[in-house]
Amino acid sequence: MTTAIPEVLTVPEVMTALRMSRSKVYDLIRSKKLGTITEGRSRRIPVECLAAYIRTKMEENA
């Protein structure tokens, strides 16, 4: 049985992936460093946006 990687993540999933606090993740969202989509009150982070954020941070630190 294979578990597919979701195309969108919740804030708690991003917190776990980045090992950051909830407030830090929301700071990244507010500052437009981490893209999101919303539907009603649900906020989701596309995997592509998370990957782009990580790529950007790696390039800055290179």
Residue 28 has pLDDT above 60, yes or no: yes
Of 58, 52, 14, the closest CA to residue 33 belongs to 52
Of 56, 59, 61, 62, the closest CA to residue 28 belongs to 56
What would the mean pLDDT of 41-46 be, rounded to a whole number? 96
What would the mean pLDDT of 14-32 be, rounded to a whole number? 97
What would the mean pLDDT of 15-41 be, rounded to a whole number? 97
pLDDT per residue over 45-57, tens digit each? 999 999 999 999 9
pTM given for the model: 0.85
pLDDT category, 6, cuts 50, 70, 90?
confident
Distance (Å, whole) CA 44 – CA 37 = 5
Tell me if 25 sits within 8 A of 18, measured CB to CB: yes
